[in-house]
Amino acid sequence: MKYLQLLAAALAFTPCVLSAPRPAPGGDVNPYVGKAPFANKAYAAKLEETIRYFRDQKDHVNAARTKTVQGIPTFAWVSSTANIPDIKPLIRDALTLQRRTGKKQLVQIVVYNLPDRDCSAKASDGEFHLDDDGFNKYKGFIDSVATELSTRDAQQLDFVLVLEPDSLGNLVTNLNVEKCANAATAYKDGTSYAIAKFQRKNIAIYLDAAHGGWLGWNDNLAPSAKVFAEVLENAQEITEGAKVRGLAINVSNYNQYVSAVRENFTEWSNSWDEWHYVNSLAPHLEEAGYPAHFIVDQGRAGKGAIRTEWGQWCNIRDAGLGIQPTHSQAVLNNTYVDAIVWVKPGGESDGTSDETATRFDTMCRSPVAHVPAPEAGHWFNDYVVSLVKNADPPIRPSFF
């Protein structure tokens, strides 16, 4: 065991000395280059509560850091029919800023509403269910989102879409769960339908590919690539020539891009941080004919050593904001990676800790979970306070 610990310690520093892999094939342009990712004003407004909290505590430095966070680009989540009207003001705000600054705005959106969503957990069960015509309702939902992204105003902006977090990964590892097995066809067909409907020159699509602790194991890599390629091929049968840009990884999760220290529970995995996961999965994507481009969520991945196993995912205590969004290869050191992004808005709960709630999941009361916590998606100010305090690298304060 001592030998393994020494070996793990040595491996922990390999990203600093490894050369970046060769560029992935394909002529598509990184959608983040030459654009200004938009800082979601709706999220910034929620952070006013956090600023007030810090000021009430006479903690003016962290209040100023939270003010900085208000200007950092994050994704807007369209996770129910009720969120569709939010797209129009999002576009309006981005277009107003684009006209004022002359900088092309890149609006980032998560589309998250498959029928029988969150099939291997309970915390984020959605509005559509297969036993209530959920698949057709989902198609109508996608049609409505596509309409909002096709307006005259929308055509003047660029978009990045992340499709259906925590969906296709379940088809690789969780088909032993009855709900996942029953939803498998709908997950594939629904995602293919969304790809086909979102084909616009100004929209770049990334499918969700879970994270290294889930799909990064050697036995999961080729099956994962096969699923992504199959979904894309099915989309091309709906819309000829349909394209995606690549994959989004670590969405809403806590894995660091480059881990400073290899944690014990990552032993035996070549994908022990997201940098290594990218390099593990990319060759399998190329072989399957799927674009090997990635964006990596680091919105809550600033701190390591806050979990005891990869399966702990709900409101992890002492988490911190991570590397700020960038497409600079000086930071990324990996030509497969388009950008580091903040997909999960810091401060929105993963799930409730109320054991009597319909959507309660035991992971939301795990030994490392921040308790008490509200329902998934609800504002969790105590949590964002922790994210700001524990940010790594620390957030620069904005006093003026």
- Name the residue among 86, 109, 97 with its Cα closest to residue 159: 109
Residue 392 annotated in active site: no
User: Does 253 belong to an annotated binding site?
Assistant: yes
> How is 239-263 classified by DSSP, letter by letter?
STT----EEEESTT----SS-SS--
How far is residue 379's CA from residue 386's CA, in Å, rounded to a whole number? 13
Q: Are 253 and 313 in contact (CB under 8 A)?
A: yes
User: Does 201 belong to an annotated binding site?
Assistant: no
Q: And the tokens for 342? A: 């903040």
**What backbone phi and psi angles, to 5 degrees, belong to 338?**
-75, -40
Q: Are 69 and 388 in contact (CB under 8 A)?
A: yes
> How is 1-41 classified by DSSP, letter by letter?
-HHHHHHHHHHTTGGGTSPPPPPPS--PPPTTTT-EE---H
Residue 273 annotated in active site: no
User: Does 214 belong to an annotated binding site?
Assistant: yes
Which one is catalytic: 158, 208, 350, 361? 350
Which one is catalytic: 116, 118, 189, 297? 118
User: Does 233 belong to an annotated binding site?
Assistant: no
Residue 153 annotated in active site: no
Long-range CB pairs of 150-154, under 8 A, 24+ apart, other chains included? 150/200, 151/88, 151/91, 153/91, 153/92, 153/95, 154/91, 154/202
Q: Are 310 and 256 in contact (CB under 8 A)?
A: no
Helix (H) or strand (E) holding 206: strand 203-208
Helix (H) or strand (E) holding 297: strand 294-297
How far is residue 72's CA from residue 345's CA, in Å, rounded to a whole number? 10
Which one is catalytic: 166, 189, 208, 338? 166
Q: And the tokens for 210? A: 């879970």
How far is residue 258's CA from residue 252's CA, in Å, rounded to a whole number? 17
**Which residues does residue 208 pair with via DSSP β-bridges, in sequence order?**
248
| Cα dist from 298 to 27, 57, 182, 230, 249, whole Å | 27, 28, 32, 28, 9
* 263 φψ region: left (φ > 0), alpha (ψ -120 to 50), beta (else): beta
Q: What angle do CA 373, 389, 122 make, to 5 degrees?
A: 25
User: Does 284 belong to an annotated binding site?
Assistant: no
User: Does 348 belong to an annotated binding site?
Assistant: yes
User: Does 268 belong to an annotated binding site?
Assistant: no
User: Per the annotation, where are the binding residues for substrate?
Assistant: 77, 211, 214, 253, 313, 344, 348
Annotated binding site: 77, 211, 214, 253, 313, 344, 348
Residue positions annotated with a catalytic role: 118, 166, 350
